[in-house]
Amino acid sequence: MKKLLLILSLAAGQAINAWAQFAPVNDAGLAWGHLHLYPKDRNKEVLAWISMGGSLGFNLSSNTPVVFPGLLILINEASVSSSKTGGVPLGSEGSMIDHVTFKARDLASSTRRWRGFVTWWLPLRSAESGNAGLQGNWGLDVKPGSRPDQAWITTPGGVKIEVIEDKSLKVPLAFEAVHYYVVQSDLPKIQEYYSKMFGARPVAGETNTLYMPGGKLVFHVTATPPAPTFGRTLEHIGFNADTADALKKFTANVTVKGAKFYRPPRNSAFGQTALLDGFGTFIEVNKGQRGYYDLGLIEPNTYLVNESGITEQQARDKGLIH
C-alpha cells in the first residue's frame, strides 16, 4: 500500500496533457499504441518511467499505464511473461527489440534529473553493492552517448533507451522509434512484413526505417542472431485501432493476407489481435487505447464484452455489477 501511495503521490498534479495522445491512424487503421513491459520489480519500473517524465494514465486494466506523447507504457508483473526464465526477465539488449529511442528538448537538463542524487541523510549502501549511496532516480542508469546530443538510459528492468536532443521539440520528451536487430537475410523480409500487415511506410532519406503514425521502426543488421523478446522485460510492442469496428476490419484484412496469430483474436475489453512476426516477437493490436489518456476518448463499442467474454447486461444479470 505504501508503494502504491508513493506512486500516486508522485503522479498527483501531473495532469495528462492534451499533447499526450496517439497520432491519427494510417490507411490500415492503426497508430503506435504501446510497449508492454514485465519487469522484476513492477513498482520500481513504474517510478523510473514517471521520473523520466511520464504520467500515470487512467488505470483501465491490470497493467500500470505510464503515458508519453505518442506512446503508452504498460507495466505488469514479471511472472506473467518470464516463467521460462525462472520469473526473472532479461533486459532488452541482445534481443530482437534491442532498444527504443526518445527525443528530449533539453538533454542536459533531462540527464541531470534522471541521474538523481546521493542522499546524505539516508544510510549509504555497502561498497559491494556497486552503489555508494541511495540514488534518487528509482534505478535509472544514465550514460553519455558517443556525441553531445545523445545519452543512453537503462531502466531498472533492463529496458535500453537512447535519448536524442531535439531543441525544436514542443514537449520535454517524446517517443521516436523502436530498434530491431536482425540477421542480413531477414532485413528485407521483416520490412516487407511490417509494411504488408500494418501499413508501415518507408521514411525518405532514412535507410531501413519504416514509419507508423506516432513513431518509427528502425532495422539494424547483426551478425549474431538476436534472442526472441519472449521472457524479456520489453516483451512486445502494440499498435492501436480506435474502435471495435476498426479492429475487426484489420483482423479480417490480415487474415486474408495469411497472418499467423500469437493467440486467437478476441473482442474482450480493449480487444486484441496479436500477430507473430516470424522473427522473434509478436505485435498486439488493441482497440480504443486512447482511453488511457482521456476517459472521454473511450469509443462507445470498445467494451462489448469483458475479459471473461460476457456483456454488461449479462454481468448485471449475474449480479456482478449493480
Could you give the CA distance from residue 152 to residue 5 in angstroms, rounded to a whole number? 30
pLDDT score recorded for residue 12: 36
**Of the listed ranges 81-90, 191-200, 211-220, 231-240, the one predicted with least confidence:** 81-90
The CATH class, in words, for 2-317 is alpha beta
**Of the listed ranges 49-53, 151-155, 259-263, 268-272, the one predicted with least confidence:** 268-272
Higher pLDDT, residue 319 or 228: 228
Please check the confidence at residue 130 and state whether its pLDDT lies above 70: no
Please check the confidence at residue 7 and state whether its pLDDT lies above 80: no
How many other C-beta atoms lie within 10 A of the C-beta of residue 290?
20
Contact 200, 210 (CB under 8 A): yes
Residue 39, SS3 per DSSP: coil
What does pTM read for this prediction? 0.88
Please check the confidence at residue 54 and state whether its pLDDT lies above 60: yes
Q: Within a 13 Å sphere around the CA of 239, how many CA atoms are in the beta-carbon half?
A: 30
Domain definitions of the chain by residue range = 2-317
Please check the confidence at residue 149 and state whether its pLDDT lies above 80: yes
Task: Name beta bridge partners: 180.
Answer: 97, 219
Report, as an integer, the average pLDDT of 207-221. 98
Report, as an integer, the average pLDDT of 53-68. 93
